[in-house]
Amino acid sequence: MADSARTPDLTDASSVSPFESKLEELARLSVELLRQLRSNAIDPKSAAEYKALAAEVASVELAAELQQELERERDENAILQTVSLKLSSAGELRDVLRVILESLAQVVEFDAAGIFVYDREFGQIEVDMLSGYEAAQRKKLYEKFQESVRSGEGIVATVVLTGRPIYVPDVRTDSRYVEVRPSTHSEIAVPIAVRGELIGAFNLESDHVDNFSERDRKTLQTFASHAGVALERARADRMRQHTRRIEEELALARRIHSTFLPKTMPLFQPYDLGGMNFPSSEVGGDYFDFVPITESDLGVIMSDVAGHGVAAALLMANFRACILIESRAHYAIRTILSRVNEFLVETNPPDSFVTAFYGVLNRERHILTYSNAGHNPPLLLRKGETPRQLSAGGPILGVFPGVEYEEAHVQLQAGDLLVFYTDGVTEAENSGGEQFGVERLSDAAKRYATLPAYEIARRISHDVHEFQAQDENQDDLTLSIVKYE
């Protein structure tokens, strides 16, 4: 009864595993063989027994190592499956990258990690995810990677530029190492590539010398592939959002632009009025209008705002509002343009400007009083005479303060044709790089001179489109016609 209840004796052979027994026997034989070797009397039977037992023990150890390897591989596959599920859930990029780092930590020992993206356009490395760095160390990393990247200056930078993995067992012996964490002793970094394109690097640091194995490198490379998928998806999402935002801005610009162009032409006998605008795919800032001022006076506007998109549309709206207000407050055209210029200089960005032609047509005296602020000179076509360009005025609007504009007068005759246009007409190019030009515009206007004003504008616009190369990036094309019948 007492024997069955006694505490197990840990030295009892029954409590020792078979493998431990073999190790003990191997140790006993080692001592015996060493004794025989010293006495020059080795027993062949003891030597053979030792070799057999050593081989058996080695095979058991190998099997144990293989078992450990299989278990690690099984764990890695399970973790990678978790990462894949996170990727398929299309979550936020930072959440996905955080899962990748946390999952990697389950199979590879490290003290700090970073996922970095290379911006080729600016030659800089962007920090997308960090782990194990203190606030001051993070700041140092951000500052370092804001500088231009050169190979050999930092492990991550070298990997990003060469596309090859790097393992530094002891960072104190490698000149490429740039210290961020004083406790780091070994570092490993692998490239992140998507469809053959190098986009960044995945970096691990350890506080121990020679901490990483070849197996760790392969594992890190696998996780880097998953990080690449997440980064590529995020980049694609940003591109889609950027494209959507541009499309929304263009739609807004078109709405703004279309509301300011005349829907119908005012009746202003004996003059026939017509005009057309074909905005470019990017939406520019061309603007034309016929503005009744009095029963006898009609304002004629043709302008072109620098740039495209919403910014150009808003600048056009600014110019339109300003010139309409000033044209009602002042009659002198040189005064109107000077005041518009001062307003635009004060309110518009430095890189924006407006070219404009503004005139007032009096139908009782048949006089066009005008000033040209750096715009394409309109054409006055008269039978039997060379086309005349209306260029008197001054510089572009919105750039130079304190500008005075010249004012000119044109006496019109029955049959005269006035052609107003923007550079999208005369600078349209064919496949040979030849521009439509003022001469072709003048010839086309003469050819269609017997038609109504609107039809003249439509026919000339058609000719320009036929002349222009199909793959040419088209500028706005704007024409207006005043025909003295």
Sheet containing 124-131, strands listed edge to edge, beginning at the edge strand earlier in sequence: 124-131, 112-119, 197-206, 186-194, 166-168
pLDDT at 5 exceeding the cut of 50: no
| pLDDT tens digits, one per residue of 109-161 | 999 999 888 887 777 788 778 899 999 888 888 877 766 666 667 899 899 88
Residue 81 pLDDT level (bands cut at 50, 70, 90)? low
Q: Please report, for residues 311, 471, 479, the alpha-carbon distance to residue 279 in angstroms, rounded to integers and kept in the order given.
A: 15, 16, 12
Which one has a higher pLDDT value, 134 or 255?
134
| pLDDT tens digits, one per residue of 65-76 | 545 555 566 666
Correct CATH for 261-484 of 3.40.50.300, 3.40.50.720, 3.60.40.10, 2.30.110.10: 3.60.40.10
Q: Please report, for residues 209, 236, 239, 382, the alpha-carbon distance to residue 106 in angstroms, rounded to integers and kept in the order given.
A: 20, 30, 34, 87
Tokens of 228: 């690449």
| Residue in 292, 312, 294 with CA at minimum distance from that of residue 303 | 312
Please identify, in words, the CATH class of the domain defined by 108-238.
alpha beta
Mean pLDDT of the chain: 83
pLDDT at 438: 97
First to last CA, the chain: 135
Residue 339 pLDDT level (bands cut at 50, 70, 90)? very high
pLDDT at 77 exceeding the cut of 90: no
Enumerate the β-bridge partners of residue 192. Answer: 200
pLDDT at 470 exceeding the cut of 50: yes
| pLDDT tens digits, one per residue of 351-366 | 889 999 999 999 999 9
Mean pLDDT, range 179-194, rounded to an integer: 93
| pLDDT tens digits, one per residue of 271-316 | 999 999 887 656 667 899 999 999 999 999 999 988 777 777 778 8
pLDDT at 474 exceeding the cut of 70: no
Least-confidence region, from 65-69, 191-195, 403-407, 435-439: 65-69
The percent of residues above 70 in pLDDT, for the chain, comes to 81
Which one has a higher pLDDT value, 415 or 12?
415
Domain ranges of the chain: 17-84, 108-238, 261-484
